[in-house]
Protein backbone atom coordinates (compact mmCIF):
# COMPACT_ATOMS: atom_id res chain seq x y z
CA UNK A 1 0.00 0.00 0.00
CA UNK A 2 1.33 3.41 -0.87
CA UNK A 3 0.41 7.04 -0.57
CA UNK A 4 -2.34 8.25 1.70
CA UNK A 5 -3.85 4.77 1.89
CA UNK A 6 -0.79 3.69 3.82
CA UNK A 7 -1.06 6.59 6.21
CA UNK A 8 -4.74 5.92 6.80
CA UNK A 9 -4.29 2.23 7.52
CA UNK A 10 -4.68 0.91 11.05
CA UNK A 11 -1.85 1.80 13.39
CA UNK A 12 -0.83 4.93 11.61
CA UNK A 13 -3.20 7.42 13.19
CA UNK A 14 -0.59 10.05 13.86
CA UNK A 15 0.75 9.72 10.36
CA UNK A 16 -2.76 9.97 9.01
CA UNK A 17 -3.23 13.24 10.81
CA UNK A 18 -0.03 14.55 9.40
CA UNK A 19 -0.84 13.31 5.91
CA UNK A 20 -4.19 14.98 6.02
CA UNK A 21 -2.75 18.15 7.40
CA UNK A 22 -0.08 18.28 4.75
CA UNK A 23 -2.56 17.56 2.04
CA UNK A 24 -5.22 19.95 3.18
CA UNK A 25 -2.80 22.76 3.88
CA UNK A 26 -1.05 22.47 0.58
CA UNK A 27 -1.37 25.48 -1.67
CA UNK A 28 -2.29 27.83 1.16
CA UNK A 29 -4.94 25.60 2.62
CA UNK A 30 -6.93 25.25 -0.55
CA UNK A 31 -8.25 21.83 0.36
CA UNK A 32 -9.40 23.01 3.77
CA UNK A 33 -11.23 25.89 2.13
CA UNK A 34 -12.86 23.57 -0.36
CA UNK A 35 -13.94 21.19 2.39
CA UNK A 36 -15.67 24.07 4.12
CA UNK A 37 -17.27 25.06 0.84
CA UNK A 38 -18.62 21.54 0.48
CA UNK A 39 -20.07 21.49 3.98
CA UNK A 40 -21.63 24.92 3.54
CA UNK A 41 -23.70 24.12 0.50
CA UNK A 42 -27.42 24.65 0.85
CA UNK A 43 -27.32 25.46 4.52
CA UNK A 44 -29.49 28.06 6.14
CA UNK A 45 -27.64 27.63 9.43
CA UNK A 46 -24.14 26.84 8.22
CA UNK A 47 -22.55 25.97 11.55
CA UNK A 48 -25.28 23.92 13.11
CA UNK A 49 -26.23 20.30 13.32
CA UNK A 50 -29.38 21.27 11.48
CA UNK A 51 -27.22 22.73 8.74
CA UNK A 52 -25.33 19.47 8.38
CA UNK A 53 -28.61 17.60 8.22
CA UNK A 54 -29.87 19.93 5.49
CA UNK A 55 -26.77 19.11 3.52
CA UNK A 56 -27.49 15.41 3.86
CA UNK A 57 -31.16 15.87 2.99
CA UNK A 58 -30.15 17.79 -0.11
CA UNK A 59 -27.38 15.39 -1.10
CA UNK A 60 -28.68 14.84 -4.62
CA UNK A 61 -28.02 18.49 -5.43
CA UNK A 62 -24.64 18.73 -3.75
CA UNK A 63 -21.66 19.35 -5.98
CA UNK A 64 -18.11 18.57 -4.91
CA UNK A 65 -16.20 21.86 -5.28
CA UNK A 66 -13.75 21.87 -8.16
CA UNK A 67 -10.28 21.02 -6.90
CA UNK A 68 -11.38 19.17 -3.78
CA UNK A 69 -9.58 15.87 -4.08
CA UNK A 70 -10.93 12.41 -3.36
CA UNK A 71 -7.89 11.86 -1.14
CA UNK A 72 -8.90 14.77 1.04
CA UNK A 73 -12.46 13.47 1.34
CA UNK A 74 -11.20 9.99 2.23
CA UNK A 75 -8.74 11.33 4.78
CA UNK A 76 -11.36 13.53 6.40
CA UNK A 77 -13.78 10.59 6.54
CA UNK A 78 -11.22 8.44 8.34
CA UNK A 79 -10.26 11.17 10.76
CA UNK A 80 -13.78 11.98 11.90
CA UNK A 81 -14.34 8.35 12.81
CA UNK A 82 -11.47 8.69 15.27
CA UNK A 83 -12.47 11.86 17.08
CA UNK A 84 -15.22 12.87 19.46
CA UNK A 85 -18.36 14.42 18.08
CA UNK A 86 -19.99 16.58 20.74
CA UNK A 87 -23.25 17.46 19.03
CA UNK A 88 -23.37 15.06 16.09
CA UNK A 89 -22.08 17.24 13.27
CA UNK A 90 -19.38 14.82 12.20
CA UNK A 91 -21.74 11.84 12.22
CA UNK A 92 -23.91 13.59 9.67
CA UNK A 93 -20.90 14.68 7.64
CA UNK A 94 -19.75 11.06 7.64
CA UNK A 95 -23.03 10.03 6.00
CA UNK A 96 -22.58 12.78 3.42
CA UNK A 97 -19.05 11.64 2.63
CA UNK A 98 -20.07 7.98 2.45
CA UNK A 99 -22.54 8.88 -0.26
CA UNK A 100 -20.15 11.15 -2.14
CA UNK A 101 -17.34 8.59 -2.01
CA UNK A 102 -19.41 5.70 -3.41
Partner 1 sequence: MLIIQFLQNMFKLYYKDNIIRFDQLQINTIDYLIDENSKENKGFIGFFDWLRKDERTIIGIRTCFFEHQEYNALLEKFKYTKSTYGEKFIEILFTTEGYNPLLSGDQDFTNNYVYTSDNGDYLFTFGLDHLTEYELNSLLKHCEILT
Residue (of 14, 2, 4, 1) closest to 70 by Cα position:
4
For residue 29, the minimal CB distance to partner 1 (Å) is 6
In the shown chain, the binding pattern of residues 25 to 54 toward partner 1, with x for contact by CB under 8 A and - for none, equals: x---x--x---x--------x-xxxxxx--
The CB-of-17 to partner 1 minimum distance in angstroms stands at 6
Reduce the DSSP state of residue 61 to 3 states and report it.
Answer: helix
Binding status of residue 99 toward partner 1 by CB under 8 A: no
Q: Which of 22/101 has CB closer to partner 1?
A: 22
CA atoms of 17 and 38, how far apart (whole Å): 20
Contact 69, 34 (CB under 8 A): no
- For 73, other C-beta atoms within 10 Å of its C-beta total 19
Nearer to partner 1, 41 or 89 (CB): 89
* 12 is an interface residue for partner 1 by CB under 8 A: no
d(CA 90, CA 23): 20
- The yes or no reply on residue 14 touching partner 1 (CB under 8 A) is yes
Amino acid sequence: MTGIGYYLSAGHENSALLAFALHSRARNGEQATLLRELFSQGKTLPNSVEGAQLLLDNIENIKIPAGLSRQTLEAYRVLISRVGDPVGTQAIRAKVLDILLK
